[in-house]
Amino acid sequence: MSGRLALAGSIAGLCVVAAIAGPYVLDSYTVNILVRSFLYAATALTVDILWGYAGILTFGQAAFFGIGAYAAGITFTYLDFSPQNAVLALLAGLAVSAAVAAVTGWISFFHGASPLYVAIVTLAMPIIFVQILYSGGTFTGSSSGLVGYNTFDLSVESWFTICGVGLVVLTTVAWFFVNSDFGRMLVAIRENEQRCTYLGINAPRIKILLMVVMAMIASVAGYAYAGYTVVVAPEIGSFVFGTELVMWVALGGRGTLIGPVLGTIVIDVTTAYLSGNLPFVWKLIIGSIFVLVIVALPQGIIPVVRTALGRMWSAATGRSAMASSFTVPAIVDARAGRRAGAGSDAPALDVADLTRSYGSLKVLEGVTFKALGSELLGIIGPNGAGKTTLMRCLSDGYERTGGTVAAFGQTIARVPPHGVVGFGIGRSFQTTSLFETLTVAECLTLARYRLDGAGMMSRMPELALPDSARHVIAATGLDREMEIECRHLSHGMKRALELAMVLALEPSVLLLDEPTAGLTKPERTLIGNILVELVQREGLCTLIIEHDLDFVRDISTRIIVLHQGKVLLDGSVAEVVGSELVRTIYAGGEHKGAAR
Amino acid sequence: MIALALDIITTAAILFAVAAGLLIILGVLKIVNFAHGGFLTIGGYSALVVTQLGWSPWLAYPVAALAGMVMGAVVERFVIRPLYDRPLDAILATWGLGIIIGQLITIIFGREIQFVQTPIAGATSVIGETYSLYRLFLIVAAAAVAAGIAALLNATRLGLEARAVIMNEPLARGLGINSGHVRFVTFCFGAGLASLAGALITPLSSVDPNMGVPWLVNAFMLVLVSSVSLTSLAAAALALGGAQVLVSSFVSPVIGGLTIVVLAALLLRIRPAGFGRG
């Protein structure tokens, strides 16, 4: 980390020097253009954080840029320029942008929203903004905008230095932000939002907050633009500018920060020089390059350059340029006693008359049972019996059609999965559902976000895990693979990580959907032993779905048989295994079950 | 009152014709074709060329459809095909294509507004109300477009394959359907429809290199609320287009221009299936 930090620091330092020295070296036309490019680049940076890191494709940053610019333009035109009014305009721009972004975010992000939807809403935003400007008549200057108001008494050179240094600072802060624990969480939300919500992360709220902050940054850039150019016109808040920002980010390289900044500056300056001579041809060339880059180099130009430089560097020095950049956090003990429902007399899980229907099809009907702490409840039943649906209804308050679910006497209302996690219910998935590009350590850190929070600007040096999770990673050897990205793990390791992540949530009720599917016999035994020990030692109420009757018999304290959406049997292991009924359902009894 | 009702119906017909091509491409290829505006523009300029050559204005429609299909074939082969697995990138690439088409047209035809000849001029009396004949013709044209698509989907082997791909692409491939071929033909067809719509709307307004963009956004919103169904699209065009006409007449034309976008966005928030049955 320190090497990379030093490198980033020296690059930032050089850029600051350049921002101060620039006006003395460059001709005045270039300086003039560059100020504008810096402001565009700052806005492109916000698009990159939203799109490149958090996966929110937005065309709306132009509208926030426009709001900031018009806040300045209107204030200076009608109230005249004064230091007080300058502050007033800045605050007004920030407030309006934040409010509009919050509303947009509320409309765009909700449990189950498609990623395309936010693109649509943000596409509509600049269109609406421009129409509002048109209907504002002379007050907003309609299509010609506002010109020639009094503004800051600053030379072009000062603007250059202020905007240049501002851009360097913003980029540096953004770099720390995206590399922090919080930044990793954004990537996790992009890759697998559903899994994040089951880790207790309120993804919609995080996205709305991010959108509000990015809107405010774009608004400041727009404000500076209005102060510098002394002209505001509808074009700066338009749909076309919104798409141009996305194009610059895509060309530079999304998710790289530096790519979009350099891409914007290079393209904007070139445009300024070329558009005078060949306006249409230049736009045609940009459009063609854009299509080409999207098709052939989806990562953009900067990553390609960086990979090439990295190869040259390692060829020249014999060292790998792509060394691991961050230290792995040390694993420490988690503070005890934060389990939900501790000390409660009510059953850990109380399910009453649970129903789930899709139209006229009833997948679950009248499911009623109680489960206590220190019980390991096996749930068996043939395919299509409704086992996984039951898990879904227990872990997502919106899923069930009727009936009630209570944990430790508290009824679970219709809340999204991240709310259910707050009741102490943790769930693992039937198909491994991890974050492909995150490392093992990052996945575990993510699972701890609900309890430990995440640093906005840094990585935590320590990773606090409860005993149970530490036990799983130690027993399966995951503790030696902390730096490995999840996609490189073996299937068994992935299952173990999945289990460790759920345990890291410190749940009081554990829902496991076929935790041993596709594992070898020794791996299965290992996980089984861990589970039994967990239940006995920590009093964790565990529900486990399994097809392997032998496995269930070995570890369970009680078994529930589901058949065609109803509870067929609920009894001790001996009762259920000895039951004729179960043998009939499984058509051939134990043998077939064991073979699975 | 009658004029208002006719306005609503003709507006819905125009919106339906404009959005149909986008809907078909979204249904089969699962990508949002932002070059749709560009294809509309191509249709508009095809009509302009027909006018400039002094041909019959009726010829504008086949010429536009053909031009759109040829462009669609080129675009599908070189841009759309590599992006099948990246739907969000396809939005961006097709937007870039829209820019390319707009700039090429600007270079060839200039950026000024131009007018085309209309095949049907004049007005007629509908229940005592004088109304533009061409707008009435558009109802017929939209109905013909709808009937044409329905016939293709329901009565041809390719239509059957297209419906199979819409419902379950992996399964369709497993059954030996060449989904690549279905995609190619669908994209050409959708592009041709877009150009035809461009030629249909030009006599109402004028042509300029960016004429497609405002239509694109409305068409896009309509398609999203109709969950890949032609009947839902017709319903959405009638409901939202009607709202647009009402707001434009009674509130303000500027706000009227936003009606479809705002209503569709809110509708999707409340009911993600939109006008579909979901």
Q: What is the pLDDT of residue A229?
A: 92
Nearest chain A CA: its distance from B189 CA (Å): 22
Nearest CA in chain A to B271: A113
Q: How far apart are CA B150 and CA B139, in angstroms?
A: 16
At B105, is the pLDDT very low, low, confident or very high (cuts 50, 70, 90)? very high
Residue range A27-54: mean pLDDT, rounded: 93
Are the Cβ atoms of A116 and B103 closer than 8 angstroms? no
Interval A129-155: pLDDT, tens: 998 898 888 888 888 889 889 889 898
B228 interfacial to chain A (CB closer than 8 Å): no
CATH code that applies to domain A371-399+418-595: 3.40.50.300
8 A C-beta contact, residue A579 and residue A402? no
DSSP-derived letter for residue A334 is P
Average pLDDT score, chain B: 88
> Phi and psi at residue B25, in whole multiples of 5°?
-65, -40
As for the ipTM of the complex, it is 0.86
Output the CA–CA distances (angstroms, integers) from residue B225 to A411, A565, B221, B222, B229, in the order listed.
36, 34, 6, 5, 10
Kindly list the residues from chain A whose CB atom is less than 8 angstroms away from the CB atom of residue B266: 107
Can you say how many angstroms the Cα of residue A278 is from the centroid of all Cα atoms in its chain?
Answer: 42
For residue A307, pLDDT over 70 is answered with yes
Q: What is the mean pLDDT of residues A531-552?
A: 84
Residue A71 confidence (pLDDT) above 90: yes
CA distances from residue A509 to A349, A407, A423, A436 in whole angstroms, order as listed: 7, 8, 9, 27
pLDDT at A403: 87
Extended beta strands in B127-250, E state: 129-132
pLDDT at A594: 43
Closest CA to B198 of B145, B136, B148, B253: B145
The amino acid at residue B1 is M
pLDDT surpasses 90 at B110: no
Q: What is the separation, in whole angstroms, between the first and last Cα of chain A?
A: 47
CATH 3.40.50.300 occupies which residues in chain A?
371-399+418-595
- The tokens for A230 are 């002394």
pLDDT tens-digit readout, A399-413 = 888 888 888 888 888
Nearest-CA distance B119 → chain A (Å): 32
Compute CA distances A592 → A280, A387, B30, whole Å.
Answer: 71, 19, 42
Could you give the percent of chain A with pLDDT greater than 70?
94
Q: Give the pLDDT mean for B186-190.
A: 93
* A residues 224-283 lying closer than 8 A (beta carbon) to B: 239, 243, 246-247, 250, 280-281, 283
- pLDDT bucket at A64, cuts 50 / 70 / 90: very high
Q: Does A29 touch chain B (CB under 8 A)?
A: no
The SS3 assignment for A370 reads: strand
Residue A373, pLDDT > 90, answer no
In 3-state terms, what secondary structure has residue A573?
Answer: helix
> Across all residues in chain A, what is the average pLDDT?
85
pLDDT tens-digit profile of A265-291? 999 998 888 877 777 788 888 889 999
Q: Provide the pLDDT confidence category of residue A319 given band limits of 50, 70 and 90.
A: low
Residue A203, SS3 per DSSP: helix
Q: Coil, helix or strand for A442?
A: helix
Distance CA A587, CA A473 (A): 38
pLDDT, tens only, A193-240: 888 889 989 999 999 999 999 999 999 999 999 999 999 999 999 888
Chain B partners within 8 Å of A110 (Cβ): 269
The rounded distance, in Å, linking the Cα atoms of A481 and A500 is: 13
pLDDT surpasses 80 at A432: no
Residue carrying the six token digits 């592009």: B191
Among A184, A284, A303, A290, CA closest to A245: A290
Are B195 and B42 in contact by the 8 Å Cβ rule? The answer is: yes
Chain A contact for B89, CB < 8 A?
A: yes
CA distance B265 to chain A (A): 6
For residue A325, pLDDT beyond 80: no
Pick the residue from chain A with its C-alpha nearest to B210.
Answer: A240
The verdict on a CB contact (< 8 Å) between B100 and A128 is: no
What digits encode the pLDDT tens for the residues B248-277? Answer: 888 888 788 888 888 888 888 787 777 776
pLDDT tops 50 at residue B131: yes
Q: How confident is the model at residue B23 (pLDDT cuts 50, 70, 90)?
A: very high
Tens of pLDDT, residues B51-71: 889 888 899 999 999 999 999
Q: What is the pLDDT of residue A148?
A: 85
First vs last C-alpha separation in chain B: 35
Instruction: Provide the pLDDT confidence category of residue A92 given band limits of 50, 70 and 90.
Output: very high
Of A119, A123, A135, the CB nearest to B252: A135
